Structure 1
Amino acid sequence: MKNKLRFLPISLLLFFVSNQTILAQAKNNYSTRIDSLIQTTSVRPFNGNVLITQNGKTKYSKAYGYSDYAKKTPLKLSDHFVILSNSKQITAVLILQEVEKGKIVLNTPIKKYLPNLKQPWASTVTVENLLNHTSGIVDLEKPTAFPVGTQFKYTDLNYILLGQIIERVTNKTYEAVVNELFKVNKMKDSFFPNATNQKKIVNGREYFKNNTTKEIQGIVVPKERIPAAGLVSTVKDLALWNSLLHNGKLLNEATYSRMTTYSITNQHPVFGDTAIGYGYGIRVNDKTKIKEFGHTGIVPDQGFTSVNLYYPETKTSIIVLENQTFENFDITYYFEAKIREIVLKSGLLKK
């Protein structure tokens, strides 16, 4: 290339160099565009942390807004957020690790592990049905909403039961098991919230349609629901989690493949209008050119929103954690969807 460039007319050489610069800028303009986006308030304000990593290197990071709204305390990238339904894939991994030990069989009815369940469905709903939300369970005292395994119905109740199964087969509390997982994998800023550590968590905030707000301190998610929607982490620890999960550090290849394979589909606004696959606590988008894994999370009463996305071909993570929620669901994931869109169009995910 150097020899060819030496003999090019200076005008063509400058044109070539200029084009390469423009292309490079176009590929990297996601930082400027995200910066500009999160400062807008026309749809709603943004308040949270954003982290984009690729191959373990930070490509974009920003803490924007407050950890304590009343005191106007600025957020830091190291701040702790409730990660809501992104807790589900962590619970799914704990289940699958017990599968690898031979203590759980995925196609076994949950009655084996939770013998106190009284409903007839306990003898037909399997562990796998809980993992991919095909159980049809809507209430512990009621029949299933549809024949087991035939439809998708998202509910925290599935993962509440999975948390109980983990406790049953390990003879430990879910809290002890998940904290050990974090410790072993050096996720030093992730934990099961309790009375002792919940002060580390940033305050949440709920916006109502009548333009009033409520600031939330501490954990309001019931303890039994935490395996489904209440674990605590940071953007950096979730990037580490993605690297561990999707690169063979938490599960063997066959188990991971089963976790990320789907038999059921469902649509979610962050991922577009097309229904995509749902594996075990993780959405699988193989309907586009760039394969995508991810999950979302919201608990309005807790005042937090979370999105965690991973692109295996380039080992890229996009993590957005907000300590606010909106009664108007249509705008809940506005910034998360826009950030995803910006990155997908930037060229960062192209090999």
Structure 2
Amino acid sequence: MKKKLPFLPLALLLFFVSNQTIFAQKDNYSAKIDSLIKTTSVRPFNGAILITQKGTTKYSKAYGYSDYTKKIPLKLTDHFFILSNSKQITAVLILQEVQKGRVVLSTPIKKYLPNLAQPWTNTITVENLLNHTSGIVDLEKPTAFAAGAQFKYSDLNYILLGQIIERTTNKTYEQNVTELLKQANMYNSFFPNAKNEKNIIKGREYFKDNTNMEIQGIVIPREQVPAAGLVSTVNDLSNWNNALHKGRLLNEATYTRMTTYNITDKHPVFGEKEIGYGYGIRVNDEAKIKEFGHTGIIPDQGFTSVNLYYPETDTSIIILENQAFENFNVSYYFETEIRKIILSSGLLD
């Protein structure tokens, strides 16, 4: 004799089906990202993606190779150059010195870098370096504009900040940043040197003529590391977001200052509108969903990076690629599309 199935009231059945549909809609970002990174119509994807929310992994995937020649599969634990996402870390080192009273943001940099002879050191402040309003285009040339008048993104600003950190602490930048990375639970991140170089995966540069080249070793000069040369993993950058945005690295007043802006700029990853630039971090507070983040690319080193954080839902989107494209029009293609998928998925609601 066949067993009769229990009767479910129609309302309960509809509730169950409706909730399953909502869940599927909210989770469809996984399938969309999976499909996206397999496409090659614009360019190939080769990298690691991690999306976390409130300490839970929502999406994680390594796709492609860590060594293109040997066809070694990429892993989520692989070490990437994070390029200009290094600036956020350098900014925190400076701001920790501010909290200790050893650096004042409104002070001209001549006080901290007396060895620099250029006249502009008497007018450019530490804050001008942090938010790229210094106007510095070359250490031996006049500035492009008066300090604070405009935004002009430049690694030189953060190279100088690295020097200020060394002079005010009497320790190398490498020593300072190593201590900070531990403070942020970033135990798989480091300042690149001859001893740890072998732990960094190989990059690849794609040229405009469609040829490409595998990159051997460290290309980024040592003095540029505070601006664009630290090494990390997707998991460690998620740890960084947790430490920075939850008050473990800076007090509330300093953190507020870091994420407040008086200058705006446009970047294709964040859309067509200009958004704010704080201290080593872009601030998109005009959109429906508040967003912090930064990007990074150095074709010569063969890496691309994007780190996004959404404070209202405690969500991180981290994308690291060990390839870079000379054609800037396609450089951030996947990073931009993944951001769009998540913003429209309901995950951040």
SS in 1 for 2:317: strand
**Which residues of 2 match residues 133-172 of structure 1 at below 5 A?**
133-172=132-171
After superposition, the C-alpha distances for 1:138-175 in whole angstroms (9 at most, x for unaligned) are 01111110111010000000000000000000001101
Does the alignment pair 1:262 with 2:261? yes
The secondary structure found in structure 1 opposite 2:344 is helix
Provide the rounded CA distance (Å) in 1 between the counterparts of 2:280 and 2:185: 22
Q: 3-state DSSP class of the match of 1:346?
A: coil
* Residue type of the alignment partner of 2:64: G
Moved over 3 A (4+): 12-16
Alpha-carbon deviation of 1:13? 4.0
Q: How much has 1:9 moved relative to structure 2? A: 5.5
| C-alpha distance in 2 between matches for 1:186 and 1:312 | 19
Distance in 1 separating the partners of 2:114 and 2:30:
53
Aligned equivalents of 2:174 and 2:12: distance in 1? 63
SS in 2 for 1:93: helix
| Greater displacement, 183-192 / 327-336 | 183-192
Instruction: Give yes or no for contact 2:185–2:240 (8 Å, CA) kept in 1.
Output: no
1:224 counterpart residue number: 223
Equivalences, count:
344
Q: Please show how residues 32-181 of structure 1 align to structure 2 within 5 Å.
A: 32-181=31-180
Task: Name the amino acid aligned to 1:163.
Answer: G
**Paired letter, 2:59:** Y
Tell me the TM-score normalized by structure 2: 0.97
- Per-residue deviation, 1:116: 1.0
SS of the aligned residue for 1:67 comes to strand
The code of the aligned residue for 2:320 comes to: L
Residues in 2 aligned to 1:9 and 1:220: alpha-carbon distance in whole angstroms: 67
* Percent identity of paired positions between Structure 1 and Structure 2: 74
The alpha carbon displacement at 1:75 in A equals: 0.5
Question: Cα distance, 1:287 vs. partner?
Answer: 1.2
How far 1:339 moved relative to its partner?
A: 0.5
Instruction: Measure how far apart 1:23 and its partner are.
Output: 1.2
Structure 1 CA distance, aligned partners of 2:201 and 2:82? 12
Distance 2:343 2:186 in 1: 28
Q: Which residue of 2 aligns with 1:3?
A: none
**Structure 1 residue 279: deviation in Å?**
0.1
Q: Deviations over 1:242-262 (max 9, x none)?
A: 000000000000000000000
Question: Aligned partners of 1:79 and 1:147: how far apart in 2?
Answer: 43
Structure 1: which amino acid aligns with 2:271?
G
Contact conserved, 2:292 with 2:308, CA < 8 A, in 1? yes
Q: Give the conservation status (yes or no) of the 8 Å contact 2:266–2:275.
A: yes
Alignment correspondent of 2:4: none
Q: Measure, in 1, the Cα distance between the counterparts of 2:25 and 2:182.
A: 40
Q: How does 1:187-336 map to 2 (within 5 A)?
A: 187-336=186-335
- For residues 135 and 227 of structure 1, the distance between their equivalents in structure 2, rounded to whole angstroms, comes to 17
Quick one: which amino acid aligns to residue 59 of structure 1?
K
Does residue 337 in structure 1 map to residue 347 in structure 2? no
| RMSD of Structure 2 on Structure 1 (CA) | 1.3
Q: Displacement of 1:8 after TM fit?
A: 9.1
**1:182: Cα distance to partner?**
1.3
Take 2:101 and 2:83, find their aligned partners in 1: how far apart are those partners? 29
Partners of 2:202 and 2:108 lie apart in 1 by 40
Gaps of 5+ in 2: 1-6
Question: What SS class does the counterpart of residue 305 from structure 2 fall into?
Answer: strand
**1:327, CA displacement in angstroms?**
1.2
AA matched with 2:238:
A
Give the match's secondary structure for 2:138: coil
Superposed CA deviations along residues 213-271 of structure 1, whole A, max 9, x for unmatched, are 10012210000000000000000000000000000000000000000000000000000
Cα distance between partner residues in 2 of 1:9 and 1:98: 65
> 2:297 touches 2:305 (CA, 8 Å); kept in 1?
yes
- 1:81 & 1:206 partners in 2: Cα distance? 14
Deviations 1:316-336 (A, max 9, x none): 000000000111110000000
2: CA distance between counterparts of 1:275 and 1:107? 25
Partner AA of 2:246 in structure 1: N
Query: 1:155-213: CA deviations, max 9, x gaps?
Result: 00000000000000000110111011112332110000001101100100001121211
For residues 331 and 159 of structure 1, what CA distance do their matches in structure 2 show?
26
Amino acid at match of 1:83: I
TM-score normalised per structure 1: 0.96
The Cα shift of 1:314 comes to 0.6
Which residue type is aligned with residue 297 of structure 1?
G
Q: Which amino acid letter does the alignment assign opposite residue 63 of structure 1?
A: A
3-state DSSP class of the match of 1:150?
A: coil
Give the letter aligned to residue 20 of structure 1.
N
Q: Which runs of 5+ in 1 are unaligned?
A: 1-6
